[in-house]
Amino acid sequence: MSRTLLLGSGWHPPLFRSEIKALFGEIEVLHPRVVLLEDSIDETFLNRISRAALVDDLLYFGGYCYGSDFSSIVDEISDWCKEQLSPGSFAVRSKKLGSGVGNISRRDLEKEVGAKLFSEINPVNLHNPDFEIVIIVAGEVEGEVHRDSFQFDPCTIWGIREKNWDKSDYLGRQPMERPFFKPISLEPRLAKLLISLAHKEENTPQNFIDPFCGTGGIAIEALIQGMDIFVSDLDPTMVHGVKKNLSWAIDGRQNLIRVEKCSVKDIANLWGPKENSIFVFDPPYGRNAWKSDDGLELFFSALEQALKIDGNSVISTMLPAGSESLENNPDTDYIVMGHPWSEIEKQINQRGWRVNLRSPVKVHKSLARMVIVCHPLH
């Protein structure tokens, strides 16, 4: 069982795949929500995958098959499991994605595979099994909020769940649970996603820099991952509040934390050169802030300052966009920050960056944000 299967969140399958690529490099996509990695599961892998925001399940890969012949599918899954299972109790779990595969019942799959595997050395235990066999019946998904153009054929996929991995639940660190709260606070799943998208396969960031730190929601997630924190804001109220939130979140960790009142235009002087940095931020959205040249200049200043601090860094951010951007048509010049995207991208390029990822996220019915990840042009 050397390869690893990841099941992603149904909230945003394209961004799930993008974050796994950022963390691990090449992936094999079996379904919009299911990807296969060549990596084996060990302590290093578990530490890396803990940085992902949109992973729902982690399995030792068993196999997959196309078609809807129920008996053949049961036999293939059972034969593999008999080769892999050590003595111990087991349970068979199943998940249906979208419309499933033909008329296959996932409950019937659980029942029939379980019956074939049951023995004295492998008894069934539905409550606390030694092994959990997971069968994913993966079909077409319709009515998605976030449009996904990935083409695939419905298939049945299976594996054995890794017991030493727990899905992030964010208990205790929702915005309203922090000492300092403002309605602008970013929810932790999205904050963690922006950080994971700023990774590169070959390294783990050491320094986290946010020039618009607000209440510190993104910084808290970076702190938990062990990064040193360098954050700033021009609003003294936010500077005071984020200090309280980071002190609350540090919980015995030894990270370096620095918080300063500073304009984004001066952060290179403030922090100086810092190798192995990422710049992750959720810019301030005043009622008209991002439909003005002043708003654009703040964003462009962040790009310029980031290159001065670390010429090999990554920028991960979100910019306001209209709800029409959720169609995610790569040929459409959507309005972002009040300007055509082509104009924004040209300005990004002129400041030494290339856009590595552009993907819309729904905020509410009339507003979206465009997740943007930039790598240096060189």
**How large is the average pLDDT for residues 205-232?**
97
Average per-residue pLDDT for the chain: 93
Radius of gyration of the chain (CA): 23
pLDDT band at 359; cut points 50, 70, 90:
very high
**How large is the average pLDDT for residues 305-312?**
98
Strand extents, DSSP E, 149-276: 155-161, 207-210, 228-233, 257-261
Q: Which candidate, 31, 12, 32, places its Cα nearest to that of 144? A: 12
Rounded Cα distance, 119 and 310, in Å: 59
pLDDT of residue 293: 57
**How large is the average pLDDT for residues 340-347?**
96
User: Quick check: 339 and 295 in contact, CB under 8 A?
Assistant: no
What global pTM score does this model have? 0.95
Which has more pLDDT, 195 or 140?
A: 195
Which residues 6+ apart lie within 8 Å of 298 measured at CB? Answer: 212, 264, 283, 284, 289
pLDDT of residue 289: 47
Rounded Cα distance, 17 and 19, in Å: 6
pLDDT of residue 287: 45
Paired residues of 357 in beta bridges: 373
pLDDT of residue 290: 45
pLDDT band at 322; cut points 50, 70, 90:
confident
Q: What are the CB-based long-range contacts (under 8 Å, 24+) for 96-99? A: 96/136, 96/137, 96/139, 97/10, 97/31, 97/33, 97/34, 97/136, 97/137, 97/138, 97/139, 97/141, 98/138, 98/139, 98/140, 98/141, 98/142, 98/154, 99/139, 99/140, 99/141, 99/142, 99/154
Which has more pLDDT, 166 or 184?
A: 166
For 127-142, what is each residue's pLDDT tens digit? 999 999 999 999 988 7
- Residue 109, token pair as written in the block: 């799959």
Length of the chain: 378
**How large is the average pLDDT for residues 271-287?**
88
Rounded Cα distance, 123 and 63, in Å: 23
Rounded Cα distance, 245 and 225, in Å: 16
Residue with tokens 């654009």: 296
Q: Is the pLDDT score of 356 beyond 60? A: yes
Task: Give the class (CATH, top level) of 4-161.
Answer: alpha beta
pLDDT of residue 173: 86
pLDDT band at 296; cut points 50, 70, 90:
confident
Residue with tokens 């810019």: 283
CA atoms within 13 A on the CB side of 132: 17
For 226-252, what is each residue's pLDDT tens digit? 999 999 999 999 999 999 999 999 988
Judged by average pLDDT, the poorest of 34-43, 163-172, 351-360 is 163-172
CA-CA-CA-CA torsion sign (148, 151, 157, 160):
negative
Q: Is the pLDDT score of 292 beyond 60? A: no
DSSP secondary structure letter of residue 287: T
Q: Which candidate, 255, 198, 259, places its Cα nearest to that of 228? A: 255
Strand extents, DSSP E, the chain: 4-8, 28-31, 34-37, 55-66, 90-97, 131-138, 155-161, 207-210, 228-233, 257-261, 277-281, 314-322, 335-336, 339-340, 353-364, 367-376
Domain boundaries, the chain: 4-161, 175-376
Percent of the chain with pLDDT over 90: 78
Rounded Cα distance, 62 and 83, in Å: 10
Which CATH architecture is the domain 175-376 placed in? 3-Layer(aba) Sandwich (3.40)
- Residue 330, token pair as written in the block: 């790569």
